[in-house]
Amino acid sequence: MQRGEQKKEIKKVKDLSKIKVALVVSEYNSDITFPMRDGAIEELKFHGVKESNVEVVYAPGAFEIPFLCQGFAKTKKYKGIIAIGCVIKGDTDHYYQISNESTRGIMDVMLKHDLPITNAILTVNNLEQAKIRSTGATNKGIEASLALLKVI
């Protein structure tokens, strides 16, 4: 399916110009997460979401993302949230703990508040993999926006 076809498919379902979407973006590995943020916002705009209806807040790292998602969810002002982060595997088990718990936390918030949250927290083995997934056509921020709009 081409980008224009996706836009038609989503537009049939809902006028997206009035919805509010929140992005929670990790500042850790910002060389990876900020291009994902930008891709996510551009994709939302492409599908009709007004940029003024997109609120972005920054988390120190992936572990703090669920807490900030919960804050947005509690307001009941947003139709969905996009969580963006990057955890790169190192020499210790810290990678597994942060990856698992940030994902579990996002799922807990989503189900507790009955609010879609797309998980664009990259969990990769190295920086090269992260760069591939944060730029161009393989930008996971773009995919997260599209997934969120389909769920909405």
Q: Is 94 a catalytic residue?
A: yes
> Which of the 8 DSSP states describes residue 60?
S
**Residue keyed to tokens 């990259």:** 122
- Copy the structure tokens of residue 81: 């949230």
CA distances from 7 to 91, 148, 149 (A): 42, 13, 10
Distance CA 33, CA 46 (A): 20
Catalytic residue among 8, 11, 74, 94: 94
**Residue keyed to tokens 């926006």:** 145
Catalogue the active-site residues.
Answer: 94
